[in-house]
Structure 1
Amino acid sequence: MDWDKLRIFHAVADAGSLTHAGDSLHLSQSAVSRQIRALEESLGTTLFHRHARGLILTEQGELLFDATSAMAKRLDTAAARIRDSEEEVFGTLKVTSTTGFGTMWLAPRLSKLYEKYPDLTIDLMLEERVLDLPMREADVAIRMKEPSQADLIRKRLMNIRMRLYASRAYLDAHGMPERLEDMSTHRLICQNATAPQVAAGGALVQRLIAYEIPSLLYVNNYFGVMQAVINDVGIGVLPDYLTDDFPDLVQVLPDVSSAEVPVFLAYPEELRQSKRIAAFRDFVTEEIMAYRKRQLDENVA
């Protein structure tokens, strides 16, 4: 099959439109249409159902799109490995993490990485959905549990716990709870126990709401919980890695916490030699080590 026609087919299937594919390929709609018709003729089949709203792949088109998608990912991997054979760290690195960790811990530290590698581009994808690293939805992931996907290199970064925090202004106005039963006179800010989150955090929330807390604020990620806490809305369930960057947080009921949650960094085996991956891995490891040292120094003091 003609590689150029396959490239054009893949762009059309991905865009669902001859016009949009033509724009991305810098070709006219008629030129794209001719290439698709020629490909269909060479295969002896119809690849698209055509209707007023756009193009939909036929069953045969779906089969071909699966093949071209796999080819595109392999070409991306090859291109990344070729670029990483150079001495300098540059190009785009796709990083995925949870909204909370990525927003409140990782993003504020990235200036240090850019200072060292100014030609690096980070594509930071923050969501609770676990992206498929072997299929190159992302290059590297930081997750709150050990990844189960095959062919990944995994590195345990640290363990965290979910704990209770409030602002000083809130506690001055409403008092410091001395025991769990006292939570019945406070507003709790947390993720819904049924929302996508680490199981340990959900279990702690279930334990807390059993104390008949009269007022709750549910937020679907820890960044939102943090914003409510620092603006004096109530007592929030938050990961303890935040205490290093938000020293004004006051821990409430220090003996109350979730089970330990492991934090893992993972990337595909095929990117083992990637200089961009190595640069990011070393940067995160150094930041974690500095965080641990500060925690130890505070505990000793």
Structure 2
Amino acid sequence: MTSEPSWDFYRTLLAVLEHGSLSAAARDLGLTQPTVGRHIDALEQSVGAELFTRSQQGLLPTDAALVLKPYAETLASTAAALLRAATGSREKVSGTVRISASEVIGTEVLPPILAGLQAQYPELIVELSASDIVEDLLQREADIAVRMVAPAQEALLARHVGVISLGLFAHESYIERHGKPETIADLRRHKLIGFDRQTAYIRSMVKRYPMLDGISFSFRSDHSIVLHNALRSGIGISFYQIPLAKRDANLQRLLPEVEVTIDTWIVMHENLKTSPRCRVTFDALVTGLLDYAKGNDTPEGQ
């Protein structure tokens, strides 16, 4: 490397990697296409390697670009964390806090909790990443995370808020058409909804209930929300969080002896424990998810 590249060049690199063209990256960044091109040219000169090759499909990244990608992503995460820290004040609860949670928890459970939090602290800005991809708190990709596994890193503060129970459910329209299974073995003649790949949950269920091994799914997806909407549409039988099922009178519990539990943790980097915005958010998540895990969740619309 002949010189120190500007941090803006790495941001531009990520945009071109994502969009595959200079014009699309320029629109995303709010820059002109020639400016994006100059950024890439300058970065190539700094690292001494070509970063993209042209093809009919657009700009294809070279090995050098792929090597730089994770470092550029780390810079982007750090810059975002720096901005969140700069927006906060030590005297009051204000500024931005970024929360990471699974699709289901992020879309179904957290919004009412966060609504109450922001009503109490109107200057608090919340960024919620609802994804089953675990974001790295040590790299400051998020400030606080709701996780279903115990954290292993020592630099993280963690609070175990209990377990969330899942049971088998079906919409009443499905039961009207196909009836109820009376035993686990009966599930083989029913339409089941599930993930299109092996997950820790599936392996846990098969280990606990060996009869489930080999049962095929008639509807599969790799998105939790898609699976939940399939259940609500009457497509078939699926595992569903019991506290969530209480919100929908059309869902009926099946085979109550079959139950799976998942641990739930609230996790935060220890360096943020003195941050007012992170501390109140952490406490609100703990309180809200404790109630949810105990079945005291507030139904939607109330």
- Per the normalisation by structure 1, the TM-score is 0.73
Greater shift in the superposed pair: 118-127 or 76-85: 76-85
Q: Does 1:181 align with 2:185?
A: yes
CA drift of 1:282 comes to 1.9
Task: Give 1:195 deviation, angstroms.
Answer: 4.5
The residue aligned with 1:165 is 169
- The answer to whether the Cα contact below 8 Å between 2:145 and 2:267 also exists between their aligned partners in 1 is yes
Aligned to 1:278: 279
Following superposition, the deviation at residue 193 of structure 1 comes to 5.5
Contact 1:200 1:261 in 2 (8 A): no
Show the counterpart of 1:93: 97
Q: Following TM superposition, by how much is the alpha carbon of 1:30 offset from its aligned partner in structure 2, in angstroms?
A: 7.1
Q: Which has the higher mean CA deviation after the structures are superposed, 223-232 or 48-57?
A: 48-57
Letter in 1 for 2:285: V
Structure-2 separation of matches of 1:23 and 1:125? 23
The alignment-based identity, stated in percent, is 25
1:87/1:201 Cα in 2 relative to 1: closer, same or farther (>3 Å)?
Answer: farther
d(CA) in 2 for partners of 1:47 and 1:32?
17
**Residues 1:109 and 1:79: Cα distance change in structure 2 (over 3 Å):** closer
Q: CA RMSD in A?
A: 4.0
In the alignment, the residues of structure 1 paired with residue 226 and residue 23 of structure 2 have an alpha-carbon distance, to the nearest angstrom, of 40
In 2: Cα distance, 1:9 partner to 1:70 partner: 14
User: 1:186 Cα deviation (Å)?
Assistant: 2.2
Match of 1:113 among 111, 114, 117: 117
* C-alpha separation in 1, matches of 2:81 and 2:113: 27
Q: Counterpart of 1:85 in 2: which secondary structure?
A: coil
Could you list the runs of 5+ residues in structure 2 that have no partner in the other structure?
298-302
- Counterpart of 1:148 in structure 2 is 152
Displacement of 1:273 after TM fit?
1.8
Task: Give the structure 2 partner of residue 299 of structure 1.
Answer: none
What SS does the aligned partner of 1:264 have?
A: strand
1:28 and 1:99 map into 2 onto residues whose CA distance is: 35
Q: Return the letter of the residue paired with 1:200.
A: S
- Is the alpha carbon distance of 1:146 and 1:194 closer, same or farther for their aligned partners in structure 2, counting shifts above 3 Å? same
Give the letter aligned to residue 272 of structure 1. K
| Partner in structure 1 of residue 7 of structure 2 | 7
Amino acid at match of 2:254: V
| SS of equivalent to 2:100 | strand
Partner of 1:232: 234
Which AA in structure 2 matches 1:276?
R
CA contact (8 A) 1:177 1:183 kept: yes
Q: Which residue of 2 aligns with 1:220?
A: 222
Q: Which has the larger displacement, 241-250 or 68-77?
A: 68-77
**How much has 1:287 moved relative to structure 2?**
1.6
Distance in 1 between residues matched to 2:180 and 2:23, nearest whole Å: 62
TM-score, normalised via structure 2 length:
0.73
Name the CA distance, whole Å, in 2 between partners of 1:135 and 1:225.
31
Shift of 1:252: 0.6
Paired residues, what number? Answer: 289
Equivalent residue number for residue 140 of structure 2: 136
Maintained 8 Å contact 1:46/1:58: no
Matches within 5 A, 1:33-52: 46=48, 49=51
For 1:50 and 1:112, the matched residues in 2 are separated by: 47
Question: What do the CA deviations read for 1:42-62 (whole angstroms, capped 9, x no partner)?
Answer: x7x736557656696896x99
State which drifts further: 50-59 or 166-175.
50-59
| Residues 156-187 of structure 1: CA deviation (Å, up to 9, x unaligned) | 12202331011233324433332223323322
Change (3 A) 1:272 1:181: same
1:267 and 2:268 correspond: yes
CA contact (8 A) 1:47 1:58 kept: no
Query: Kindly tell me: are residues 198 and 122 of structure 1, through their superposed partners in 2, closer, same or farther at Cα, counting changes over 3 Å?
Result: farther
Structure 1 unaligned spans of 5+: 297-301
Whether the 8 Å CA contact 2:102–2:147 is kept in 1: the answer is yes
